Amino acid sequence: MQFFIEVLIGGLLSGVMYALVALGFVLIYKASGVFNFAQGAMVFFAALSFVGFQEVLPARFGLEAGSAAVFWLSFLLAFATMVVLGIATERIVLRPLVNQPPITLFMATIGLTYVVEGLAQMTWGANVRGLELGIMDEPIAWLMDDYGIGVSKFDLFAAGVAASLVALLALLFQYTKVGRALRAVADDHQAALSIGIPLQTIWRVVWAVAGFVALVAGMIWGARNGVQFALTFTALKALPVLILGGFTSVPGAIVGGLIIGASEKLAEVYVGPLVGGGIEGWFPYMLALAFLLVRPEGLFGERHIDRV
């Protein structure tokens, strides 16, 4: 039983990490109807910028390496970089493609992926770097001692970050003027344009927010696995999460992430031995596939409204 709980909790918490990446997709999909293939590259770029600034600041400006000032300054600078990237994307990629079919925009984001990846490595180099957030990846002592369940502090921290991010975004979408405008743009570009919602501004806001989410996701993933090119593949991990939770739902991304995380770990431990192990890698995709047959819009996705 203890072992089961430990696996379950570990799975749920790693699911939160997937959810963090999925969030970025959801944001952009919701507001512009674009499946942003470049989200993984953005995660990589954001994390790389963050560590990059962390190295550059002490070296160039004599700030004390590893100090809180350097940390937050790097965070801000990395965020600013993502905002600039978002604005540039809107200007160069999205604006000329207004009113084009979604597939065109999707193709454009595939192109964007390579540009962003290249840009990241051109600016900061291709070395694998470590990222230190000051939270140890070790079991929480009292849980371990009293119940014999190992839950990583770091995972718990990541879960906390993700939860607050989601709460914040949900509030933003549901109750603010900009949030309403975002949802309006998602429903109908042209109508939004006709009532005076400036698409450009909305898109910039969305890409900036998605950049912020990418930065947070990149920092947490980077602290876990090191900041390296493999970060771009986190995007692939987010796919089954999106299919499960629904492309248009912020809470869906979280719930989807939890389900995927928990089920892949449980499957690995309990089903894996029966088929020779190693099913963690593909189990989520199987799950997503099965889900597509039953509920294509995902658990919380907006149902396609058909008037009959």
Is there a contact between 14 and 268 (Cβ–Cβ < 8 Å)?
no
Binding mask 234-273 toward other proteins (x if CB under 8 A, else -) reads ----------------------------------------
CA distances 155 to 73, 76, 83, 113, 220, Å, are 24, 24, 27, 28, 9
Is 186 among the residues that bind other proteins (CB under 8 A)?
A: yes
Question: For residue 237, which of 47, 75, 15 has the smallest C-alpha distance?
Answer: 15
Of these, 159, 192, 209, 242, which contacts other proteins (CB under 8 A)? Answer: 192
Size of site (CB under 8 A) for other proteins: 23
Least distance in angstroms from the C-beta of 178 to other proteins: 9
What is the residue whose two structure tokens read 């499946």?
A: 35
Is 183 among the residues that bind other proteins (CB under 8 A)?
A: yes
Question: What is the rounded CA–CA span in Å between residue 30 and residue 13?
Answer: 25
Is 177 among the residues that bind other proteins (CB under 8 A)?
A: yes
Least distance in angstroms from the C-beta of 34 to other proteins: 16
> One-letter amino acid identity for 247?
F
Q: Which of the residues 85 through 114 are near other proteins (CB under 8 A)?
A: 98-99
* Secondary structure letter of residue 139 according to DSSP: B
Least distance in angstroms from the C-beta of 197 to other proteins: 5
Of these, 88, 167, 168, 191, which contacts other proteins (CB under 8 A)? Answer: 191
Is 190 among the residues that bind other proteins (CB under 8 A)?
A: yes
Residue 64 or 187: which CB sits closer to other proteins?
Answer: 187
Helices (H), the chain: 2-32, 39-61, 68-89, 102-124, 141-147, 153-175, 177-187, 189-194, 199-225, 234-245, 250-266, 272-275, 283-294
Is 305 among the residues that bind other proteins (CB under 8 A)?
A: yes
Question: For residue 220, which of 153, 172, 120 has the smallest C-alpha distance?
Answer: 153
Residue 5 or 172: which CB sits closer to other proteins?
Answer: 172
Rg of the chain on CA atoms, in Å: 20
Residue 232 or 249: which CB sits closer to other proteins?
Answer: 249
Least distance in angstroms from the C-beta of 38 to other proteins: 23
Q: Where along the sequence are the contacts to other proteins (CB under 8 A)?
A: 98-99, 177, 180-181, 183-184, 186-198, 302, 305, 307
